[in-house]
Chain A
Amino acid sequence: QVTLKESGPALMSPTQTLTLTCTFAGFSLSGPTMRVGWIRQPPGKALEWVARIDGDDEKFYNTSLKTRLTISKDTSRNQVALTMTDVDPGDTAFYYCVRIKGVCGSITCTYYFDHWGLGTLVTVSS
Protein backbone atom coordinates (compact mmCIF):
# COMPACT_ATOMS: atom_id res chain seq x y z
CA GLN A 1 0.00 0.00 0.00
CA VAL A 2 1.39 3.36 -1.06
CA THR A 3 1.27 6.10 1.55
CA LEU A 4 2.89 9.52 1.82
CA LYS A 5 2.94 11.80 4.83
CA GLU A 6 4.12 15.38 5.08
CA SER A 7 5.67 16.89 8.18
CA GLY A 8 7.04 20.29 9.04
CA PRO A 9 6.34 23.51 10.89
CA ALA A 10 2.82 24.92 10.90
CA LEU A 11 3.85 28.52 11.48
CA MET A 12 6.76 30.45 10.02
CA SER A 13 7.94 34.04 10.19
CA PRO A 14 8.86 35.97 7.03
CA THR A 15 12.45 35.50 5.81
CA GLN A 16 12.83 32.15 7.60
CA THR A 17 13.78 28.91 5.86
CA LEU A 18 11.10 26.24 5.60
CA THR A 19 11.94 22.54 5.57
CA LEU A 20 9.25 19.99 4.83
CA THR A 21 9.72 16.24 4.91
CA CYS A 22 7.74 13.62 3.02
CA THR A 23 7.92 10.12 4.47
CA PHE A 24 6.58 7.49 2.15
CA ALA A 25 5.95 3.74 2.11
CA GLY A 26 4.95 1.10 -0.39
CA PHE A 27 7.54 1.94 -3.02
CA SER A 28 11.22 2.77 -3.37
CA LEU A 29 12.48 6.01 -4.86
CA SER A 30 15.27 4.47 -6.86
CA GLY A 31 15.86 4.31 -10.58
CA PRO A 32 15.00 6.94 -13.20
CA THR A 33 11.32 6.01 -13.55
CA MET A 34 10.39 6.73 -9.92
CA ARG A 35 9.40 10.28 -9.08
CA VAL A 36 8.15 12.17 -6.02
CA GLY A 37 7.03 15.75 -6.05
CA TRP A 38 5.54 18.62 -4.05
CA ILE A 39 2.40 20.55 -4.90
CA ARG A 40 1.02 23.44 -2.88
CA GLN A 41 -2.37 25.08 -2.60
CA PRO A 42 -3.06 28.41 -0.90
CA PRO A 43 -6.31 28.09 1.06
CA GLY A 44 -9.26 28.38 -1.31
CA LYS A 45 -7.06 28.62 -4.38
CA ALA A 46 -5.70 26.44 -7.16
CA LEU A 47 -2.97 23.81 -7.05
CA GLU A 48 0.57 24.88 -7.91
CA TRP A 49 3.39 22.51 -8.79
CA VAL A 50 6.52 23.17 -6.72
CA ALA A 51 9.27 20.62 -7.33
CA ARG A 52 10.11 17.00 -8.05
CA ILE A 53 12.97 14.58 -7.59
CA ASP A 54 13.54 11.40 -9.54
CA GLY A 55 14.99 8.14 -8.37
CA ASP A 56 18.22 8.87 -10.25
CA ASP A 57 18.47 12.13 -8.24
CA GLU A 58 17.46 14.44 -11.10
CA LYS A 59 15.72 17.52 -9.70
CA PHE A 60 13.19 19.88 -11.25
CA TYR A 61 11.73 23.12 -9.88
CA ASN A 62 8.90 25.51 -10.59
CA THR A 63 10.62 28.26 -12.55
CA SER A 64 9.12 31.05 -10.45
CA LEU A 65 10.32 29.47 -7.18
CA LYS A 66 13.55 27.91 -8.35
CA THR A 67 15.98 30.30 -6.69
CA ARG A 68 14.52 29.54 -3.25
CA LEU A 69 14.05 25.77 -3.46
CA THR A 70 16.12 22.69 -2.80
CA ILE A 71 14.74 19.16 -3.00
CA SER A 72 16.59 16.09 -1.81
CA LYS A 73 16.00 12.45 -1.00
CA ASP A 74 17.14 9.87 1.49
CA THR A 75 16.42 6.56 -0.20
CA SER A 76 17.35 4.47 2.83
CA ARG A 77 14.82 6.30 4.99
CA ASN A 78 12.16 6.64 2.26
CA GLN A 79 12.09 10.40 2.65
CA VAL A 80 12.06 13.45 0.42
CA ALA A 81 12.83 16.88 1.83
CA LEU A 82 11.91 20.27 0.42
CA THR A 83 13.66 23.43 1.59
CA MET A 84 12.36 26.89 0.76
CA THR A 85 14.36 29.95 1.76
CA ASP A 86 13.16 33.47 2.52
CA VAL A 87 9.47 32.60 2.96
CA ASP A 88 6.82 35.30 2.87
CA PRO A 89 3.03 35.36 3.43
CA GLY A 90 2.52 34.44 -0.22
CA ASP A 91 3.97 31.01 0.59
CA THR A 92 1.11 30.27 2.98
CA ALA A 93 -0.43 27.09 1.62
CA PHE A 94 -1.20 23.44 2.06
CA TYR A 95 1.84 21.52 0.88
CA TYR A 96 1.20 18.07 -0.58
CA CYS A 97 3.70 15.32 -1.29
CA VAL A 98 2.82 13.23 -4.34
CA ARG A 99 4.02 10.12 -6.08
CA ILE A 100 4.33 10.66 -9.79
CA LYS A 101 3.51 7.83 -12.15
CA GLY A 102 3.94 7.67 -15.89
CA VAL A 103 2.31 6.01 -18.83
CA CYS A 104 4.14 5.91 -22.13
CA GLY A 105 2.87 5.74 -25.69
CA SER A 106 4.89 5.09 -28.79
CA ILE A 107 6.45 8.56 -28.78
CA THR A 108 6.05 10.31 -25.45
CA CYS A 109 5.18 9.67 -21.84
CA THR A 110 2.67 11.47 -19.68
CA TYR A 111 2.84 11.68 -15.92
CA TYR A 112 0.25 12.11 -13.21
CA PHE A 113 -0.02 12.15 -9.43
CA ASP A 114 -1.39 8.77 -8.45
CA HIS A 115 -0.98 9.07 -4.68
CA TRP A 116 -1.13 12.13 -2.46
CA GLY A 117 -0.29 12.79 1.15
CA LEU A 118 -2.90 14.39 3.39
CA GLY A 119 -1.07 17.69 3.18
CA THR A 120 0.35 20.04 5.76
CA LEU A 121 -0.66 23.67 6.21
CA VAL A 122 2.19 26.14 6.46
CA THR A 123 1.27 29.66 7.51
CA VAL A 124 3.76 32.48 7.07
CA SER A 125 2.95 35.46 9.24
CA SER A 126 4.71 38.11 11.25
Chain B
Amino acid sequence: YELTQPPSMSVAPGQTARMTCEGNNIRRTGVHWYQQKPGQAPVLVVYDDSDRPSGIPERISGSKSGNTATLTISRVEVGDEADYFCQVWDSISDHPALGAGTRVTVL
Protein backbone atom coordinates (compact mmCIF):
# COMPACT_ATOMS: atom_id res chain seq x y z
CA TYR B 1 0.00 0.00 0.00
CA GLU B 2 1.06 3.56 -0.64
CA LEU B 3 -0.92 6.07 1.36
CA THR B 4 -1.29 9.67 0.22
CA GLN B 5 -2.11 12.48 2.63
CA PRO B 6 -2.12 16.22 1.94
CA PRO B 7 0.95 17.67 3.67
CA SER B 8 -0.81 20.50 5.44
CA MET B 9 -4.04 22.32 6.08
CA SER B 10 -5.23 25.28 8.11
CA VAL B 11 -8.49 25.66 9.97
CA ALA B 12 -10.00 28.33 12.20
CA PRO B 13 -11.08 27.54 15.76
CA GLY B 14 -14.64 26.28 15.90
CA GLN B 15 -14.62 25.14 12.29
CA THR B 16 -14.39 21.59 10.93
CA ALA B 17 -11.16 20.01 9.71
CA ARG B 18 -11.36 17.17 7.22
CA MET B 19 -8.21 15.39 6.07
CA THR B 20 -7.93 12.51 3.67
CA CYS B 21 -5.87 9.38 3.23
CA GLU B 22 -5.92 7.75 -0.18
CA GLY B 23 -4.54 4.40 -1.21
CA ASN B 24 -5.16 1.58 -3.65
CA ASN B 25 -7.47 -1.03 -2.17
CA ILE B 26 -7.77 0.53 1.26
CA ARG B 27 -11.47 -0.11 0.88
CA ARG B 28 -10.58 -3.75 1.63
CA THR B 29 -8.86 -3.05 4.97
CA GLY B 30 -9.24 -0.99 8.11
CA VAL B 31 -7.71 2.47 8.27
CA HIS B 32 -6.26 3.81 11.51
CA TRP B 33 -5.37 7.37 12.49
CA TYR B 34 -2.83 8.85 14.91
CA GLN B 35 -2.47 12.34 16.32
CA GLN B 36 1.02 13.61 17.13
CA LYS B 37 1.27 16.90 18.96
CA PRO B 38 4.59 18.79 18.91
CA GLY B 39 7.24 17.08 21.01
CA GLN B 40 5.01 14.13 21.88
CA ALA B 41 4.57 10.53 20.79
CA PRO B 42 1.68 9.68 18.47
CA VAL B 43 -1.66 8.71 19.97
CA LEU B 44 -4.25 6.46 18.36
CA VAL B 45 -7.43 8.47 17.72
CA VAL B 46 -9.39 6.26 15.30
CA TYR B 47 -9.03 2.56 14.48
CA ASP B 48 -10.71 0.31 11.94
CA ASP B 49 -12.04 3.23 9.89
CA SER B 50 -14.36 4.77 12.46
CA ASP B 51 -13.92 3.38 15.99
CA ARG B 52 -12.57 5.61 18.74
CA PRO B 53 -10.44 4.40 21.64
CA SER B 54 -11.68 5.35 25.07
CA GLY B 55 -10.80 8.91 25.99
CA ILE B 56 -10.90 10.26 22.44
CA PRO B 57 -13.59 12.95 22.13
CA GLU B 58 -16.57 12.45 19.84
CA ARG B 59 -15.46 15.55 17.94
CA ILE B 60 -12.90 13.31 16.25
CA SER B 61 -14.37 10.82 13.81
CA GLY B 62 -13.29 8.64 10.94
CA SER B 63 -15.00 7.45 7.78
CA LYS B 64 -14.16 5.79 4.51
CA SER B 65 -15.61 5.83 1.04
CA GLY B 66 -14.02 3.64 -1.58
CA ASN B 67 -10.27 4.09 -1.44
CA THR B 68 -10.38 7.35 0.49
CA ALA B 69 -10.49 7.54 4.26
CA THR B 70 -11.29 10.79 6.04
CA LEU B 71 -10.53 12.01 9.53
CA THR B 72 -12.89 14.76 10.67
CA ILE B 73 -12.36 17.05 13.62
CA SER B 74 -15.43 19.10 14.50
CA ARG B 75 -15.38 22.31 16.53
CA VAL B 76 -11.63 22.56 16.15
CA GLU B 77 -9.66 23.79 19.16
CA VAL B 78 -6.16 25.21 19.40
CA GLY B 79 -5.18 21.98 21.14
CA ASP B 80 -5.98 20.00 17.99
CA GLU B 81 -2.95 21.48 16.25
CA ALA B 82 -0.86 18.42 15.40
CA ASP B 83 0.35 16.05 12.71
CA TYR B 84 -2.14 13.33 11.77
CA PHE B 85 -0.97 10.05 10.26
CA CYS B 86 -3.03 7.30 8.66
CA GLN B 87 -2.04 3.64 8.67
CA VAL B 88 -3.23 0.36 7.20
CA TRP B 89 -2.01 -3.20 7.56
CA ASP B 90 -0.94 -5.10 4.48
CA SER B 91 -2.22 -8.60 5.10
CA ILE B 92 -0.09 -10.08 2.32
CA SER B 93 3.27 -8.83 3.53
CA ASP B 94 2.03 -8.71 7.16
CA HIS B 95 3.58 -5.24 7.44
CA PRO B 96 2.03 -1.87 8.20
CA ALA B 97 1.93 1.02 5.76
CA LEU B 98 2.02 4.58 7.07
CA GLY B 99 1.05 7.84 5.44
CA ALA B 100 3.44 10.81 5.50
CA GLY B 101 1.04 12.81 7.62
CA THR B 102 -1.00 16.00 7.45
CA ARG B 103 0.03 18.97 9.57
CA VAL B 104 -3.04 20.76 10.88
CA THR B 105 -2.55 24.39 11.83
CA VAL B 106 -5.23 26.15 13.84
CA LEU B 107 -5.28 29.78 12.87
Contact = CB atoms under 8 A, between A and B. Distances in A.
Contacts of A96: 41-42
Interface residues of B, number: 24
B84 to A, nearest CB: 11
Interface in B28-67: 28-30, 32, 34, 41-44, 47-48, 53
Interface stretch (B11-19, B68-76, B91-99): B91-99
Given A46-B100, A110-B30, A114-B47, A60 B94 contact: yes
| A contact face: mostly helix, strand, loop, or mixed | strand
A118 B100 contact: no
Contacts of A46: 85, 98-101
A109 B44 CA distance: 18
Interface residues of A, number: 22
Contacts of A110: 29-30, 32, 48, 88-89, 91
B20 interface: no
A22 B34 CA distance: 21
A119 B98 contact: no
Interface of B: 28-30, 32, 34, 41-44, 47-48, 53, 85, 87-89, 91, 94-96, 98-101
